[in-house]
């Protein structure tokens, strides 16, 4: 039981961003949160969190451990729900949000199969590259391709992913390749507008994640258009592997700055924290996890 409390406390602290927020969520004193984290780190023999009086930050080991812990807790919650709900069936309206490109390719085509399994569910799909306000806009679950930053939301990892900087060989032949992230200031970068979900391109440099504001003469709020512009040799684009893998395999695009690729760009389902999650939300998340866990799915798509 102590081990379970340590793990659940670690997840609360990591996702909420501070010991005080985790303490409020669990209804205990911050000192108790600190003691549980100390005991966990001592038991594992590794530093999971860098802590200060106001905030905490995950170490590399802590970030990897967090993914595993969230999956374990989600599996445990699924098991308990399955027992408690027995033969209960998912029903009602499900509101889903996803990035436009990913949603078109990897969410929308799967929805008929999901509805075939859950015939009492109806749904709406909102495709938008901006960061939607789940609570304010009445979204049940959002698909996001980034690390979870909002401590008011719960994230469940659906699949691995990596963002890379891609460019057409013709552009490189004319303009050369950036060697370090700062070189992007001298290149034409194809990006989403500043009010979109990507406010900069993130890299790993000198052991830290850095976010660079990039600029270019072409901006679009649709990631698929940015992809097409990159294929046409108009500039460099920061895209996900699920989108550009085939173009890389065919040689239409190549990657640059691979040594600076940052972690934390995996595919997540996020939802508002609720004590009793509606079965339709849990069923949808479980459905996506099951599909995305199949290697042949990504090979085929």
Backbone angles phi, psi at 212, to 5 degrees: -105, 135
When mean pLDDT is compared across 3-12, 102-111, 165-174, the lowest value belongs to 3-12
Provide the pLDDT confidence category of residue 83 given band limits of 50, 70 and 90: low
Specify the range with the lowest mean pLDDT, choosing from 37-51, 56-70, 98-112, 264-278.
Answer: 264-278
Nearest to 178 by CA among 229, 225, 218, 212: 212
CA distance between the termini of the chain: 43
Query: Residue 70 pLDDT more than 90?
Result: no
Residue 53 above 90 pLDDT? no
- pLDDT at position 193 over 70: yes
* 138, two tokens: 């009445």
What tokens does 257 get?
């700055």
| Residue of 18, 17, 14, 16 whose CA lies nearest to 62 | 14
Tokens of 81: 């729900």
Confidence category of residue 199, pLDDT binned at 50, 70, 90? low
Give the confidence band of 295 by pLDDT, cuts at 50, 70, 90: confident
Residue 263's pLDDT band (boundaries 50, 70, 90)?
Answer: confident
Helices (H), the chain: 2-16, 19-26, 30-44, 60-85, 100-106, 111-117, 134-137, 169-175, 223-231, 241-250, 279-292, 295-300
Tell me how many degrees the CA angle 243-288-67 measures, rounded to the nearest 5. Answer: 85
What's residue 84's pLDDT?
A: 60
Nearest to 182 by CA among 207, 226, 213: 213
Q: Which one, of 190, 283, 197, lies nearest residue 231 by Cα?
A: 190
101: tokens are 């490109």
Distance CA 180, CA 32 (A): 44
Q: What is the CB neighbour count within 10 angstroms for residue 119?
A: 10
Segment 80-91 shows an average pLDDT of 65
140/126 Cα distance (integer angstroms): 11
User: What pTM does this model have?
Assistant: 0.64
| 200-251 pLDDT per residue, tens | 898 988 888 888 989 899 998 888 899 999 999 999 999 998 889 889 999 9
Per-residue pLDDT at 181 exceeds 90: yes
Cα 189 to the center of its chain, rounded Å: 23
Spatial distance between the Cα atoms of 180 and 154, rounded to a whole number of angstroms? 34
Q: Report residue 19 CA to chain centroid gap.
A: 23
């Amino acid at each position: 039981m102590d081990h379970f409390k340590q793990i659940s406390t670690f997840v609360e602290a990591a996702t909420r961003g501070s010991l005080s927020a985790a303490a409020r969520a669990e209804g205990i004193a911050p000192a108790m949160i600190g003691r549980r984290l100390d005991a966990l780190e001592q038991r594992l023999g590794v530093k999971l969190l860098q802590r200060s009086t106001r905030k905490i930050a995950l170490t590399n080991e802590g970030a990897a451990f967090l993914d595993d812990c969230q999956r374990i807790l989600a599996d445990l919650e699924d098991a308990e729900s399955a027992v408690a709900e027995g033969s209960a069936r998912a029903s009602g309206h499900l509101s889903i949000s996803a990035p436009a490109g990913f949603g078109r390719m990897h969410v929308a085509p799967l929805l008929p199969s999901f509805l075939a399994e859950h015939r009492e569910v109806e749904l709406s799909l909102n495709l938008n590259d901006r960061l939607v306000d789940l609570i304010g806009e009445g979204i049940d679950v959002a698909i996001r391709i980034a690390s979870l930053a909002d401590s008011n939301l719960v994230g469940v990892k659906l699949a691995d992913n990596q963002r890379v900087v891609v460019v057409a060989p013709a552009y490189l032949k004319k303009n050369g390749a950036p060697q370090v992230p700062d070189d992007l200031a001298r290149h034409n970068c194809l990006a989403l507008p500043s009010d979109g979900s990507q406010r900069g391109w993130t890299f790993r440099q000198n052991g830290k994640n850095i976010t660079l504001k990039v600029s270019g003469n072409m901006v679009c709020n649709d990631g698929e258009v940015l992809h097409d512009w990159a294929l046409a040799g108009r500039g460099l684009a920061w895209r996900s592997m699920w989108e550009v893998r085939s173009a890389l395999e065919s040689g239409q695009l190549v990657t640059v700055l691979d040594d600076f690729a940052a972690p934390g760009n995996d595919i997540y389902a996020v939802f508002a924290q609720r004590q009793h999650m509606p079965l339709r939300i849990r069923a949808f998340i479980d459905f996506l996890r099951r599909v995305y866990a199949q290697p042949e799915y990504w090979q085929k798509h």
